[in-house]
């Protein structure tokens, strides 16, 4: 659930910035700079290497829920402030997003949590496939039980 919500929030973020003079590539740079601020200066690629994640897989698929929620919060604050302050263009929005990720990082640090030091979680896509398979099995069993009545 947290992962799906995270994906939705980034889609919403994209819509907010795309109408404020930021193209697709600029959106990617804004996200990357925000991640770098949250991960204590480490880039997405450096985090993937640190967590032994393939370069072609999304980092978010392996992040712990606390990190997903931290990214969510920073993104929501950015969305709110971009709209409230009518920020426009990549430099202004990047500055806002980096600041918000730094603020969230500082909040986590008060509880001695450093996102770049947390271990990777099991691949969310793999977990989703397992749940889907298990749900199908449960439905089959339920149908068998219903037929026996």
Count CB atoms within 10 A of the CB of residue 134. 10
Residue 86 falls inside a structural domain = yes
According to the model, what pLDDT value does residue 66 have? 96
Exposed, middle or buried: residue 120 (CB in 10 Å: 0-12, 13-18, 19+)?
A: middle
Instruction: Quick: pLDDT tens for 126-144.
Output: 666 767 777 777 777 777 7
Give yes or no for a contact between 11 and 72, defined as CB atoms under 8 angstroms apart: no
Residue 48 falls inside a structural domain = yes
Predicted TM-score (pTM) of the model is 0.78
Is residue 29 predicted with pLDDT exceeding 90?
A: yes
Instruction: Quick: pLDDT tens for 45-73.
Output: 999 999 999 999 889 889 999 999 999 99
For 19, the domain range is: 2-120
Confidence band, pLDDT 50/70/90 cuts, at residue 1: very low
Residue 14 falls inside a structural domain = yes
Give yes or no for a contact between 82 and 16, defined as CB atoms under 8 angstroms apart: yes
Mean per-residue pLDDT over the chain, rounded:
88
Residue 107 falls inside a structural domain = yes
Which positions ≥6 away from 91 have C-beta within 8 Å? none
Lowest mean pLDDT among 1-10, 23-32, 100-109, 127-136: 1-10
Q: How many domains does the chain have?
A: 1
Q: Could you say which DSSP state residue 58 is in?
A: -
Spell out the alpha helix ranges (H) of 21-88: 24-38, 44-50, 65-84
Phi, psi of 42 (to 5 degrees): -80, 135
Residue 144 falls inside a structural domain = no
């Amino acid at each position: 659930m947290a992962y799906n919500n995270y994906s939705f929030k980034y889609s919403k973020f994209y819509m907010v910035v795309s109408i404020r003079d930021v193209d697709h590539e600029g959106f990617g740079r804004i996200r990357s700079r925000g991640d770098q601020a949250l991960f204590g200066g480490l880039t997405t690629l450096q985090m993937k290497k640190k967590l032994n994640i393939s370069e072609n897989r999304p980092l978010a698929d392996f992040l712990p829920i606390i990190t997903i929620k931290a990214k969510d919060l920073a993104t929501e604050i950015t969305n709110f402030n971009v709209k409230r302050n009518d920020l426009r263009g990549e430099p202004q929005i990047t500055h806002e997003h980096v600041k918000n990720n730094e603020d969230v990082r500082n909040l986590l640090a008060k509880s001695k949590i450093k996102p770049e030091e947390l271990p990777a979680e099991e691949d969310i896509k793999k977990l989703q496939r397992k749940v889907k398979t298990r749900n199908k099995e449960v439905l089959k069993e339920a149908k068998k039980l219903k037929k026996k009545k």
